[in-house]
Structure 1
């Protein structure tokens, strides 16, 4: 059984909203998230985002700010939004609003609740091996993997890799990332999003 989508999902999907032209998708960061959630065909999108954001809720606000900043190309400053913790709570609330519009919302189940606990050490090893990421980003990702879920940390790692200006991956690294993604039952295009960074022989 695979996830509900072949593409990215959860908070890492939300991080992808904040690209160079994000302001055209809404007047504020919250508007951008709300608009994307409203347009999502599958209610599972909102459920997955809420699940991720709730799991992140136990992290300190500065750690959350590092994670959101690392996983987005152009994340607006979170200080004016109340900080990382308040922004993460805002994302949860936006999901609640979206889900309240549906009368028959079934909880996530099966592959969609795989948290990756069995792959914790492998995920942490790949975080530590991404030396092109700043030390504070690697530390925040490790905290996410150990105190939230390896699944969330791994997807945010993939986002951070795509946003890092000096990122490159060896074929061995990519093979390991693929193996983790397979174990976490990701769709075809989740780990594939970093394939273009693999160094050519």
Structure 2
């Protein structure tokens, strides 16, 4: 079964819009609206409807998980290269609630269609494999994370592992890839091979994985 897109999607896809200048777009709701924009079209196509459904599903799974507020906040902030700071009384679930409500408003206007579903994407085999790759992948966090945000590799692994077990293995894997890209964390040869295998089993598109190619020596012509 194929996905509705070959690119990143859902919460990990949305995180890419929280770049250095995201505040110029407006608040969180405006960024969501921009991400789900249909442009000048009076109606949304099926892919846009599925994108909205994927984002709403990711938010619901993460909000309903056993992850602490701090772990949710760390995963989202790291997915945005720390361009989204949590301030004041805002927590991870407060943010997820804002995103979820924006999705529901969009659906009320443009409608929705069900997402593709395959039992293999949430199987125990996938859960085990994603947990294993999270535990074993070398994650070289930039020094400034440890200096300013106290984010150690062990904390990131624990948060991703909890996401796999309590929310969604697929979401945790997409967040892992997004964290690599957002923070320029290298992907070594063994991890690259395993990432490719998991992406294939989850039917994730080639364009999603290709976004990591510049981080892996496996894709460097000089490595041949």
TM-score (norm. length: structure 2): 0.81
Counterpart for residue 101 of structure 1: 109
Contact 1:62-1:84 at 8 Å conserved across structures:
yes
After TM superposition, the structure 1 = structure 2 runs for residues 1-201 of structure 1, keeping only pairs within 5 Å, are: 1-24=1-24, 26-39=25-38, 41=45, 42-57=48-63, 58=65, 59-80=67-88, 82-103=90-111, 105-111=112-118, 114-115=121-122, 117-128=124-135, 129-133=137-141, 134-165=153-184, 167-199=185-217, 200=220, 201=223
3-state secondary structure, aligned to 2:211 = helix
Shift, 1:96, TM fit: 0.5
Shift, 1:74, TM fit: 4.3
Shift, 1:30, TM fit: 2.5
Q: Which runs of 5+ in 2 are unaligned?
A: 39-43, 142-152
Structure 1 residues 113, 35: CA separation in 2 closer, same or farther (over 3 Å shift)? farther
Shift, 1:32, TM fit: 1.1
Residue correspondences, number: 198
Q: Which runs of 5+ in 1 are unaligned?
A: none
Q: Which has the larger radius of gyration?
A: 2
3-state secondary structure, aligned to 1:51 = helix
* RMSD between aligned residues: 2.1
Structure 1 residues 112, 146: CA separation in 2 closer, same or farther (over 3 Å shift)? closer
Shift, 1:18, TM fit: 0.8
3-state secondary structure, aligned to 2:186 = coil
Structure 1 runs (4+) deviating above 6 angstroms are none
Structure 1 residues 46, 80: CA separation in 2 closer, same or farther (over 3 Å shift)? farther
Contact 1:123-1:154 at 8 Å conserved across structures:
yes
CA distance in 2, matches of 1:81, 1:194: 34
Contact 2:75-2:175 at 8 Å conserved across structures:
yes
